[in-house]
């Protein structure tokens, strides 16, 4: 499959790119600074630009959807304190540009504090979500607004909701469901693997699943 990647140089994006390359996919990545790709730059097509730049996205998506039956955009874009509405603006740009290039599948990373209509949460989980939204401020609201943009679109979107992220090697032991598991964490490498699973297997279309590391 040809896949377009946003956020390829981040702490989740790097293991995501490695996993997708290992699985044999052809990748085009959109990055601000190609130098941050390191040796991976020789294995992917590189488009320089930002995720809110419709011209750069057009170049990215033109390659992702060409000569293939399945084109997908996968985002590991992280939060940015300098751009507190980055995810919302990126979502709006993608919703505008993707249909023009016949690319309808989007998989991205949201946050555990985002509530969606299908959620079934107990009192404790609702309290946790409320706390995350209050403490997270503009960055938390950005994730909520991002969800609204994709949910209102015609894209085949999935937004993965991880809990607190940890560094470290992948464990290969992660669980996913439509319901929040309570207190939990996940390693970024395992999150990357699940995001790859979602893209490769067309899981959770029009849904926002939770994913977390399984207990030992």
Domains of the chain, residue spans: 2-213
Provide the pLDDT confidence category of residue 83 given band limits of 50, 70 and 90: confident
Look at residue 168 in the predicted model and tell me its pLDDT. Answer: 94
DSSP string, 99-168: GGGT--EEEEE--TT---TT----HHHHHHHHHHHHHHHHHHHHHHHHHHHHHTSSSEEEEEB--EEE-S
The pTM assigned to this predicted structure is 0.89
2-213 falls under which CATH superfamily? NAD(P)-binding Rossmann-like Domain (3.40.50.720)
Provide the pLDDT confidence category of residue 124 given band limits of 50, 70 and 90: low
């Amino acid at each position: 499959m040809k896949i377009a990647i946003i956020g390829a140089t981040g702490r989740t994006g790097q293991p995501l790119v490695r996993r997708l390359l290992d699985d044999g996919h052809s990748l085009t990545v959109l990055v601000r600074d190609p130098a941050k790709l390191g040796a991976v730059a020789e294995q992917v097509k590189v488009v320089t630009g930002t995720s809110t730049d419709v011209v750069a996205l057009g170049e990215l998506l033109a390659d992702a959807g060409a000569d293939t039956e399945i084109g997908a955009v996968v985002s590991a874009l992280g939060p940015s304190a300098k751009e507190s509405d980055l995810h919302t603006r990126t979502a709006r740009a993608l919703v505008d540009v993707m249909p023009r290039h016949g690319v309808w599948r989007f998989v991205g990373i949201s946050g555990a504090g985002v509530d969606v209509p299908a959620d079934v949460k107990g009192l404790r989980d609702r309290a946790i979500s409320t706390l995350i939204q209050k403490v997270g401020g503009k960055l938390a609201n950005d994730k909520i607004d991002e969800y609204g943009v994709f949910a209102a679109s015609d894209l085949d979107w999935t937004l993965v909701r991880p809990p607190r992220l940890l560094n470290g090697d992948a464990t290969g032991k992660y669980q996913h469901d439509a319901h929040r598991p309570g207190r939990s964490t996940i390693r970024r490498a395992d999150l990357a693997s699940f995001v790859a699973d979602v893209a490769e297997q067309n899981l959770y279309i029009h849904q926002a699943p939770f994913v977390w590391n399984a207990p030992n």
